[in-house]
Amino acid sequence: MVIKEVYPELSKQNRAILKIRNIVRYVFVVASIACLVTNYLVKGKPWSIVVVWSIFTAWNMIFSPDRFEFNMINQTVKLVFHVCVLLWLIDICLVRTGWYKFVVPIVCFGALLLTAVFLFIDVNAQIHNSMPMIWLIIFSIGFVVFMVVHSEIEWPVIVLGSVAVGILSLSIFYHEEFLLEIKKRFHTN
């Protein structure tokens, strides 16, 4: 059986990309397992959890990007989620001083401002991508409430609350679009 080729030859670059992704995947899995085992054997602080989460973040953000909803707002919020969890893990696993309560709100209000810039630069197009930002606002308000109830309030928490409420109030000008967005996101088919 002779097969007449009717498809273009795959470039070396394309072949390499496909292979590298598969290799990196296995390297990451092996590295994660090795860290967990080593940490278990040598005892001490659970540093391997921080390493595994960092590897997972790198995998998620660089080597296995989202197949859909790949836009600036979504990617920013996704990165912030990974970074906040990482900061929290560093604190509870290694530092244990509770500094995440100070750092996480700074990261969050920075991200809120950035996503707001992305949104308001081109509202008509970006309004369809705004839901991750709404989630971040909800998370931020929840975090502020948590801090008010359970901890001392420092300036980053106040700024975070102000920025979240500020962006929320700005969105009143686009309430119809936001409501449609929420209707789409919460549809039950």
Least distance to another protein from the beta carbon of 3, Å? 5
Instruction: Fill in the amino acid letter for 100.
Output: Y
Report, in Å, the least distance between residue 50 CB and another protein.
Answer: 23
Residues 73 and 5: their CA atoms lie apart, in Å, by 43
Based on the shown chain and the rule CB under 8 A, indicate whether residue 12 belongs to the binding site for another protein. no
Half-sphere exposure of 72 (CA within 13 A, CB side): 15
Per-residue contact track with another protein, 135 to 174, x per CB under 8 A?
A: ----------------------------------------
Q: Which of residues 52-81 bind another protein (CB under 8 A)?
A: 64-71
Report the C-alpha gap between 138 and 38 in whole angstroms.
Answer: 39
Rounded Cα gap, residues 43 and 38, in angstroms: 8
Selected binder of another protein within 18, 27, 113, 145 (CB under 8 A): 18
Both tokens of residue 76?
């920013």
Q: Can you tell me the distance from the alpha carbon of 65 to that of 139, in angstroms, rounded to the nearest whole number?
A: 23
* Residue 72 tokens, joined: 């600036």
The contact mask relative to another protein for 110-139 (x = CB under 8 A, - = no) is ------------x-xx--x--x--------
Sign of torsion over alpha carbons 2, 16, 63, 65: negative
For the CB of residue 70, give the shortest distance to another protein in the complex, in Å. 3
Residue whose CB is less far from another protein, 21 or 45: 21
List interacting residues with another protein (CB under 8 A).
Answer: 1-11, 14-15, 18-19, 21-22, 25, 64-71, 122, 124-125, 128, 131, 180, 184-189
